[in-house]
Structure 1
Amino acid sequence: MLTEYGRDARILIGANALGQTFLWFSFFIMPFYLKALGYGMKTMGMFFSAQTIVGGLFFLLAGPISLRLGYRKTLLSSAIVGLAGRVFQVSASSWFVLLLGFILVGVNMGLRQPNYNAYLSELVPDEMRHEAFSKSFGLGTLFNSLGVLLAGFLPGYLVGAGLTEETAYRLTFSLSLLQFAFVIPALFIVRDVAVREKRIRWERNLVVKILKFSLPSAIIGLGAGITIPFMSLYFKIRFGETLSAISYVFFFQQLAMGLGSFGLPELVRKWGPVKVITSFQGAATVLFAVFPSIETFALAGAVYVARAILMNIIWPINSSFMMGSFKTEEKATANGIQQAFSTFMRGVGNSVGGTLFAISLVYPFYATAVLYAVATALFYAFFKRYN
């Protein structure tokens, strides 16, 4: 599957995929872990906002830091900081320590993704870029699905073995540390990519191009922040389902996205990236608009899985499309700014979502659907001629 790429690209994609097992694992289990520690939804919103806002700040710094350190050293530094953050979250000896953990994980988040995208785009030929990004996403998502399944069943097993709920969730969440057991060693053995230009020429065309990618991402980030972090709790509150039952929804979501992403490059070759992105996002928007009217858990789970596939499966194509639009020295900075726009607004959305869910289980979904529709229309208007 990865034999057509060079050694470093294979190592990078493989380590990222293995690490992803415990990245989505930690995302899925986090609301339940915080609830077991005694925190309410408003406090959760504050923790999520702190992480995403700090992540946004470091998205802005991701490019300048990589121009000085290189992609590999920047990724390695972010992984070490992320490991420290997870350690603080696992210990959770006080709300301040827990908050510090979220802040450090935010630093990791901000430095990692732009530099991973830029690094991978430099390790593979341009004609293989869409395919490489899709395979990286697909493999990572398949491993994500295993992590979600583990997170869904392990706490109940540990409670059944006689542990308290808090201890069971703490032990389960501690497995998130394993993400870095794969990533950090891999980053020691790959070689860096030379960036000849150590500064970016900030011309008007470059700024406009970055803003065109960033504005739709910011609006989508706001919409996602309102609903996505609370979805596992929504299923529990709305339908009264167990954690293990809810984990199946997220397991099938990740499994289907992972398998589906391998066929996406062929669709891009036929339709073009812009049509694929806007078509999928538009369909996901419709599903989110009808989601709160669904009365049964099985149907709601199926619709949520379909929505998640449509909305998320196109992100590697979006990232690849963006990376192909910038020079080597511009890639991490441009992607970092785009991710910063999205992340700042996602952080705002986390707080808004916590408040809206405290009022109603319906309003957050309508708000997200409207924002997704606006973002999709803007993206198509900006890039339809580049399809």
Structure 2
Amino acid sequence: MFSEYGRDAKILIGANAVGQTFLWFSFFLLPFYLRALGYNMRAIGAFFSTQTIVGGIFFLLAGPISLRLGYRKTLLLSAFLGLTGRLLQVLAINSLVLFLGFLLVGMNMGLRQPNYNAYLSELVPEERRHEAFSKSFGLGTLFNSLGVLLAGFLPGYLTGLSLAEETAYRITFSLSLLQFVFVIPALLMVRDVVVRERKIRWEKTLVLKILKFSLPSALIGLGAGITIPFMSLYFKLRFGETLQAISWIFFFQQLAMGLGSFGLPELVKKYGPVKVITAFQGTATFLLVVFPSIETFALAGAVYVLRAILMNIIWPINSSFMMGFFRTEEKATANGIQQAFSTFMRGVGNSIGGTLFAVSLAYPFYATALLYASATALFYAFFIKHNGEKR
């Protein structure tokens, strides 16, 4: 599957995939873990907002830092920050320690993704970029599915051994530290790529390109922040289901998304990246509108899985498409700014979502659908003329 890639690209993709087991694991489990620690929905929203806003700040710093340190050292710095942050979240001695943990994980989030995307795009041939991003995403998502099952079943198993709920969730959440056990050694094994230019020429065309990618991302980030962090709790509150039952929804979501992503490059070759992205996002938006009216857990789970696949499976294509517009020294900065827009708005959305869910279990989905529809229309308008271009 990866024989055509170089050694460093294989190591990077492999370590990312295995690490993803515990990244999605922690994302899925975190709301339940915080509830077990005694925090309410508003407090959970505030913690998520802290993490995402700090992440947004470090998305802006990701490019300048990588121009000084290089992609590999920046990713290592990110990993050590994330490891420390997760450790503080596991300890959770008090609210201040937990708050510091969210701060450090936000820093990790902000530095990691722009530099991973930029680094991977430089390690693979230009003509294989869409394929490499999709394979990286697909493999990582398959490992994600295993993490979701583990997160769903281990707390119940531990409480069955007469452990207190808080202790069971804390032990389970501590496994999130394993992400860095795989990632840090891998980053020590790979070589960095050469960035010849250490300064970015901030011309008008560059700024416009970044803004065209950033504005749709900001709208999607706001919409996602309103609903996505609360989805596992939504299924529990709406249908009264157990954590184990809910985990199966997220398992099938990740499994189907991972398998489907391997075929996505063929669709892109046939129809072009812009048409594929907007078609998938548009369909996902429609499903969000009807989602709150669904009365049964099984059907709601199926619709949520389909919506999540359609919305998320195209992100590696979106990232790869974006990388084709920028020079080597611009990639991390451009991607960082784009994700900063998304992350700042996601942080705002977390607080809005906590408030809206406290009022109604339906309102957040309508708000998110409106924002997704606007983002999809903007992206199509900005980039449809580039749909057939080879970059």
The TM tier, using the shorter chain, reads over 0.9
Find the residue that maps to 1:214 and give its secondary structure.
helix
The corresponding residue for 2:111 is 111
Q: Which amino acid aligns with 2:125?
A: P
Find the residue that maps to 2:325 and give its secondary structure.
coil
Structure 2 matches for 1:37-76, cutoff 5 A? Answer: 37-76=37-76
The corresponding residue for 1:183 is 183
- 1:62-92 Cα deviation digits (max 9, x unpaired): 0000000000000000000100000000000
Note the C-alpha offset of 1:300.
0.1
The corresponding residue for 1:202 is 202
Find the residue that maps to 1:278 and give its secondary structure.
helix
Note the C-alpha offset of 1:324.
0.7
Note the C-alpha offset of 1:153.
0.2
- 1:26-70 Cα deviation digits (max 9, x unpaired): 000000000000000000000000000000000000000000000
- 1:188-233 Cα deviation digits (max 9, x unpaired): 0100000000000000000000000000000000000000000000
- Following TM superposition, where does structure 1 have runs of at least 4 consecutive aligned residues deviating by more than 4 angstroms? none
Q: Which amino acid aligns with 2:92?
A: A
Note the C-alpha offset of 1:116.
0.1
Give me the whole-angstrom Cα distance separating, in 2, the residues matched to 1:25 and 1:2.
25
Give me the whole-angstrom Cα distance separating, in 1, the residues matched to 2:82 and 2:45.
20
The corresponding residue for 2:35 is 35
Find the residue that maps to 1:274 and give its secondary structure.
helix
Tell me the percent identity. 83
Q: Which amino acid aligns with 2:31?
A: P
Note the C-alpha offset of 1:25.
0.2
The corresponding residue for 1:352 is 352
The corresponding residue for 1:244 is 244
The corresponding residue for 2:124 is 124
Note the C-alpha offset of 1:255.
0.2
Give me the whole-angstrom Cα distance separating, in 1, the residues matched to 2:99 and 2:282.
36
The corresponding residue for 2:160 is 160
Q: Which amino acid aligns with 1:273?
A: P
Structure 2 matches for 1:261-340, cutoff 5 A? Answer: 261-340=261-340
Give me the whole-angstrom Cα distance separating, in 2, the residues matched to 1:162 and 1:132.
46
Aligned length: 387
Give me the whole-angstrom Cα distance separating, in 2, the residues matched to 1:272 and 1:339.
23
Find the residue that maps to 1:382 and give its secondary structure.
helix
- 1:105-129 Cα deviation digits (max 9, x unpaired): 0000000000000000000000000
Give me the whole-angstrom Cα distance separating, in 1, the residues matched to 2:43 and 2:2.
43
- 1:262-317 Cα deviation digits (max 9, x unpaired): 00000000000000000000000000000000000000000000000000000000
Give me the whole-angstrom Cα distance separating, in 2, the residues matched to 1:247 and 1:196.
46
- 1:168-205 Cα deviation digits (max 9, x unpaired): 00000000000000000000010000000000000000
Give me the whole-angstrom Cα distance separating, in 2, the residues matched to 1:270 and 1:377.
21
The corresponding residue for 1:5 is 5
Give me the whole-angstrom Cα distance separating, in 1, the residues matched to 2:187 and 2:272.
33
Give me the whole-angstrom Cα distance separating, in 1, the residues matched to 2:41 and 2:318.
32
Give me the whole-angstrom Cα distance separating, in 2, the residues matched to 1:189 and 1:22.
21
- 1:101-157 Cα deviation digits (max 9, x unpaired): 000000000000000000000000000000000000000000000000000000000
Find the residue that maps to 1:202 and give its secondary structure.
coil
Structure 2 matches for 1:359-378, cutoff 5 A? Answer: 359-378=359-378
| C-alpha RMSD of matched pairs (Å) | 0.2
Find the residue that maps to 2:212 and give its secondary structure.
helix
- 1:293-345 Cα deviation digits (max 9, x unpaired): 00000000000000000000000000000001100000000000000000000
Note the C-alpha offset of 1:242.
0.2
Q: Which amino acid aligns with 1:225?
A: G
Note the C-alpha offset of 1:365.
0.3
Note the C-alpha offset of 1:379.
0.2
Unaligned runs of 5+ in 1: none
The corresponding residue for 1:137 is 137
Note the C-alpha offset of 1:244.
0.1
Note the C-alpha offset of 1:159.
0.1
Find the residue that maps to 1:163 and give its secondary structure.
coil
Find the residue that maps to 1:194 and give its secondary structure.
coil
Q: Which amino acid aligns with 2:226?
A: I
Unaligned runs of 5+ in 2: none
